[in-house]
Amino acid sequence: MNNIKTEFTIKDLENFSGIKAHTIRIWEKRYNLFQPKRTDSNIRYYDMNSMLKLLNVSLLYNNGLKISKIASLSNDKMELSVKELVFKEGFESKALNSFKLATLNFDEGLFNQTYNGLISQISFRTIFTEVFIPFLNEIGILWQVQSITPAHEHFITNLIKQKILINTEKLQFLQPNKNGRKFVLYLPMHEIHELGLLYLHFELLFHGYHSVYLGQSVPVENLNDLQKVFDEVCFLTYLTVEPSKETVEEYLQQVYSEILKDTNDSLWVLGSKLAQFDSDSFKNDQIKIFKSPFELLNIL
């Protein structure tokens, strides 16, 4: 229990709910929606019940219910309204809030309960693209503004990683049905952010391609080993924080000169690190730059 955060600033409430602090204060004064507490040094804070209530309020409010109507509901009726909305709109409408709470409290049970509710209604591919990706974007923002710690981020990304691996394993029993190109997925040296690459591995298998996953921190020279086994290799990498000791262009040139030159092989690249790279001026027929995973998925 010592790991569970139970006291929140109004800025924490804003970051988790998306409702501005100024608006929360107005609702608090006008409708008595929340009852902040005070520390011994007279600093205002909110408890877990307030956080839970605000997440329910924000869900109803963002789905068109007026705040005056929401404020008139008892806690039990508010919970019932949320359940009715979830039933009408789909379980994913509440999933983001549930996943946030699971992250905040290191609550694996709540994460799995929420995920199981989703997977009973929609496919894993839909969950990842329409729920997990927006959720992870929000988690990144919460980490940047220090409403959560790196421990929270590691906790939740590892749970999502488990779901990718479970769904990937199911596909690995199937034989590839697309001949020719073999995909080899890897991350550069010291790159450990593999969630995006793991999901692309799942998608490649789903679409019937032969996909080999090498994982984190692979030296460029090791890619030659795959060329000894496979013809027409398409290497696929995801640049999040690496390369850090050289430019992206220098790294790509190294892969070209040591691996791709005088072959029919290619390299597909994506990741946030490319924001520092002028891909429009980079010309190499064997290296393809993708601005987003969705751009890559559209050509599979």
Same topology between domain 1-88 and domain 175-297? no
Distance CA 275, CA 288 (A): 15
Q: Is the pLDDT of residue 92 over 70?
A: no
**Could you tell me the pLDDT band of residue 185, with boundaries at 50, 70 and 90?**
very high
Mean pLDDT of the chain: 89
Q: 90-173 — its CATH code?
A: 1.10.1240
The CATH number of domain 1-88 is 3.30.460.10: no
Per-residue confidence at 266, pLDDT binned at 50, 70, 90?
very high
Per residue in 45-64, pLDDT (tens digit) is 898 888 888 888 988 898 88
In the prediction, which pLDDT does 146 show?
A: 74
pLDDT tops 60 at residue 186: yes
- pLDDT tens across 128-141, in order? 999 999 899 888 88
Q: How do residues 135-166 score in pLDDT, each as one tens digit?
A: 998 888 888 777 788 888 899 999 999 999 99
pLDDT above 80 (res 3): no
| Boundaries of every domain in the chain | 1-88, 90-173, 175-297
3 vs 119, higher pLDDT: 119
Query: What local confidence, expressed as pLDDT, does residue 66 receive?
Result: 94
- pTM (predicted TM-score): 0.81
Q: Residue range 189-217: average pLDDT?
A: 95
175-297: CATH, from 3.40.50.280, 3.40.50.300, 3.30.420.280, 3.40.50.620: 3.40.50.280
pLDDT of residue 93: 66
Percent of the chain clearing pLDDT 70 (strictly above):
96
* CA separation for the pair 176, 277 (Å, rounded): 34
> Could you tell me the strand order of the sheet in which 210-215 lies?
210-215, 182-186, 233-238, 266-270, 287-289
Amino acid at 232: E
Mean predicted confidence (pLDDT) in 15-35: 91
Q: What is the pLDDT of residue 91?
A: 64
Where residue 73 falls among pLDDT bands split at 50, 70, 90? very high
Q: Is 153 within 8 Å of 144 (Cβ atoms)? A: no
pLDDT-derived band at 2 (thresholds 50, 70, 90) equals: very low
* For residue 1, pLDDT beyond 50: no
pLDDT over 60 (residue 170): yes
